[in-house]
Amino acid sequence: MNNDELESPRPEHLDTVERVFVNQAGYLPDDEKYAVITFPATYFTVVDEKGTACFSGIPIPCGRDEASGDSVCRADLSGLRLPGKYRVIAGKEVSHEFSVGDDVYQPCFDKLMKAFYFQRCGCELKERFAGMWAHKKCHTSTAILWENNKISVDVSGGWHDAGDYGRYTTAAAVSLAHLFYGWKMFPEVFLRQDIDIPGKPSDMPDVLIECRYELEWLLKMQRFDGAVWHKVTTFKHAPFIMPEDDNEQLYVFPVSSSATADFAAVTALASTIYRRYDARFADWLLKCSEAAYDWLEKNPAFIGFQNPEGCDTGVYGEHSDADNRFWAAAELYCATGEEKYYSRTMELINRDFSKTALGTASVGGFGSLALLLHGRGSAAVLNMLQKLFVRQAEELAEICEKSGWGASITPDQYFWGSNMKILTNGMIFIIADHLERNSLSGNPHFRKYAAMQLNYLLGTNATGYSFVTGVGDLCVNYPHHRPAFADRVEECIPGLVSGGPNSRMEDNYAAMLLPKDTPPMKCFSDNTECYSLNETAIYWNSPAVFLVAGLLS
């Protein structure tokens, strides 16, 4: 019997036909490499660009993978170290092309970073930088306060959050935090980066030029008394039109304590980062951070955010702000060395919230990172925080080992934006590895699990897609992203990270398209309509930037 007859029929709703899956961007020469095969192949061959066989082996069966419902086996390609372009052949099936080389991640890294430029609001995206995705200035009209329509404010600028045109404080702060910590931990990788954005040449690396664009908007979101507004959006999401054609009234919605705390945290962090380039900007950031913090101290009760009746733009609701306040106090302590921030940090650290979570609603991990990288404070606390990251990495590594695809999430974790979970788990691996590498008795062994998360993102997953637009032969090209649709350019704006499989299928189109019993990892479609599967967001891009930087370092 032919191998191909053994397997179950290919699910018809999947528009991909892959059965040999690889990271379509490729692999670094010395990294562990593997292809996942979803039929019982007895043999695999790797061919180069000319079709010449250059590597072969016997796939290792891994059994049934619960998240995808596939019986998978793995082809170990780790011995393939010679730079070049390859495909894996097993049975009659051929994988997409992938590269091996020292520079395979650079184009992906650059596209992921440039994507933030494409999200810019309030300025023209000139052809010189944006090419065929150029568009006019958008959302520059003054916004009015939701609570008092007579008061208007200038809150122009920043990045559009996602496939929508909203700008949300907590989402912005988290996205900036991923990028800033990437820069803090792997500066050499960012110093080498050279993308085409305005404001160059500059002393600053590109990541800091781009983040400053967001920060300057964020500063406008602070009210006179230090509190920070939760979001600025229209009342209803715009239709699928270009941003410059979205001329509905912009509203600045009420303040929340989560927004104020995240603002205090990220502006304090930014002040330490920008100080060496622009001391006045750094002073201003710190002043604004302190004002936000003082407001929080005067307003100790949690103030959440809910949409007013009828408003359908993002909520970014939270249930508690202990983690946000912890992050704020920790960053301000690291920025100023002042005792009052330290004592508040130590008080909040005993509250019940995750100390390793890296966004969006749960931000305790950033406070922990602040303390760990700063290295001041009690040795016992630093030790405890390091152990928490390492223990979490150990637990996630176990999940990867059980997954046929090396995915770090369990079958019940394929919810809206599951790729963010994959990517922030990738960050946890990188962070734990980094901490262990820098401590005497450390055991850094998590890098390979971090790489697995990138492999998943770039094609080694049951959908076969690279979830980054413009990266890989078969990549997402029709995300739920307004300009990407409305610009009438067939090729999607590159570098955008799709939310990825969502087993709850929370939009009508997904529910119609995919059978109810679709395995979680296959609950995906590269379809503009499917906002719960295929939107993009700044805080899905930012952990990808961090992860790739960590792997490149």
Contact stretch for ligand 9MR (CB under 6 A) within 101-109, 148-156, 159-167, 402-410: 159-167
Single residue of 26, 122, 166, 464 touching ligand 9MR by CB under 6 A: 166
Tokens of 201: 């040449």
Which of residues 105 and 546 has its CB atom nearest to ligand 9MR in the complex? 546
Single residue of 62, 80, 130, 138 touching Zn ion by CB under 5 A: 138
Residue with tokens 């006179």: 224
The rounded distance, in Å, linking the Cα atoms of 513 and 505 is: 10
Using CA of residue 321, residue 113, residue 356, residue 185, what is the dihedral sign? negative
Q: CB under 8 Å to 118, separation ≥6 — which residues?
A: 125, 130, 133, 483, 493, 495, 496
Binder of residue 139, out of Zn ion, ligand 9MR, none (CB less than 5 to 8 A by kind) = Zn ion
133 and 489 in contact (C-beta within 8 Å)?
A: yes
CB count within 10 Å of CB 444 equals 14
Which of residues 398 and 412 has its CB atom nearest to ligand 9MR in the complex? 412
Please report whether residue 511 would count as binding ligand 9MR according to CB under 6 A.
no
Binder of residue 243, out of Zn ion, ligand 9MR, none (CB less than 5 to 8 A by kind) = Zn ion
The rounded distance, in Å, linking the Cα atoms of 366 and 196 is: 29
Q: CB under 8 Å to 400, separation ≥6 — which residues?
A: 406, 407, 408, 449, 452
**Active site includes 237?**
no
Which of residues 311 and 514 has its CB atom nearest to ligand 9MR in the complex? 311
Residue with tokens 């306040």: 325
Contact stretch for ligand 9MR (CB under 6 A) within 119-127, 160-168, 373-381, 486-494: 160-168
Q: Among 164, 210, 214, 507, which one carries the catalytic annotation?
A: 164
Binder of residue 537, out of Zn ion, ligand 9MR, none (CB less than 5 to 8 A by kind) = ligand 9MR
Give me the least distance between CB of 373 and Zn ion, in Å please.
34
Please report whether residue 523 would count as binding ligand 9MR according to CB under 6 A.
no
Query: Nearest CA to 505 among 523, 527, 478, 518?
Result: 523
Binder of residue 436, out of Zn ion, ligand 9MR, none (CB less than 5 to 8 A by kind) = none
Backbone Cα Rg of the chain: 23
**Active site includes 203?**
no
Binder of residue 417, out of ligand 9MR, Zn ion, none (CB less than 5 to 8 A by kind) = ligand 9MR
CB count within 10 Å of CB 500 equals 30
Question: How many residues line the site for ligand 9MR (CB under 6 A)?
Answer: 10
Give residue number: closest CB to ligand 9MR: 314
Please report whether residue 404 would count as binding ligand 9MR according to CB under 6 A.
no
Site string for ligand 9MR, 231-260 (x = CB under 6 A): ------------------------------
Give me the least distance between CB of 416 and ligand 9MR, in Å please.
4
What is the 3-class SS of 108-130, one letter each residue?
HHHHHHHHHHHCECCCCECHHHH
Single residue of 18, 93, 161, 246 touching ligand 9MR by CB under 6 A: 161
Tokens of 296: 């929080």
Task: Provide the 8-state DSSP code for 152.
Answer: E
Give me the least distance between CB of 248 and Zn ion, in Å please.
12
**Active site includes 535?**
yes
Please report whether residue 162 would count as binding ligand 9MR according to CB under 6 A.
yes
Tokens of 206: 């590109």
Single residue of 74, 96, 139, 482 touching Zn ion by CB under 5 A: 139
The rounded distance, in Å, linking the Cα atoms of 221 and 225 is: 12
CB count within 10 Å of CB 102 equals 11
Give me the least distance between CB of 138 and Zn ion, in Å please.
3
**Where do runs of H (alpha helix) occur along 337-413?**
339-348, 364-374, 379-402
The rounded distance, in Å, linking the Cα atoms of 177 and 218 is: 13
Contact stretch for Zn ion (CB under 5 A) within 16-24, 182-190, 236-244, 278-286: 236-244
- Beta-bridge partner residues of 168: 231
550 Rama class: left (phi>0) / alpha (psi -120 to 50) / beta:
alpha
Give me the least distance between CB of 137 and Zn ion, in Å please.
8
Please report whether residue 496 would count as binding ligand 9MR according to CB under 6 A.
no
Give me the least distance between CB of 246 and Zn ion, in Å please.
7
Give me the least distance between CB of 121 and ligand 9MR, in Å please.
13
Which of residues 118 and 183 has its CB atom nearest to Zn ion in the complex? 118
- Beta-bridge partner residues of 21: 36
Task: Provide the 8-state DSSP code for 266.
Answer: H
Within residues 320-339, the interface with Zn ion by CB under 5 A covers: none
**E strands present in 235-372:** 251-252
Query: Nearest CA to 539 among 506, 501, 505, 499?
Result: 499
Single residue of 73, 121, 273, 432 touching Zn ion by CB under 5 A: 121
**Active site includes 434?**
no
Single residue of 400, 537, 548, 549 touching ligand 9MR by CB under 6 A: 537
Tokens of 524: 């995906």
Please report whether residue 125 would count as binding Zn ion according to CB under 5 A.
no
Task: Provide the 8-state DSSP code for 103.
Answer: T
- Beta-bridge partner residues of 128: none
Please report whether residue 162 would count as binding Zn ion according to CB under 5 A.
no
Give me the least distance between CB of 165 and ligand 9MR, in Å please.
9
Query: Nearest CA to 437 among 269, 182, 185?
Result: 185
Within residues 304-333, the interface with ligand 9MR by CB under 6 A covers: 314-315
Query: Nearest CA to 525 among 541, 512, 543, 538?
Result: 512
Q: Among 290, 480, 481, 507, which one carries the catalytic annotation?
A: 480
Catalytic positions:
164, 480, 526, 535
Interacting residues with Zn ion (CB under 5 A): 121, 138-139, 243
Interacting residues with ligand 9MR (CB under 6 A): 161-162, 164, 166, 314-315, 416-417, 535, 537
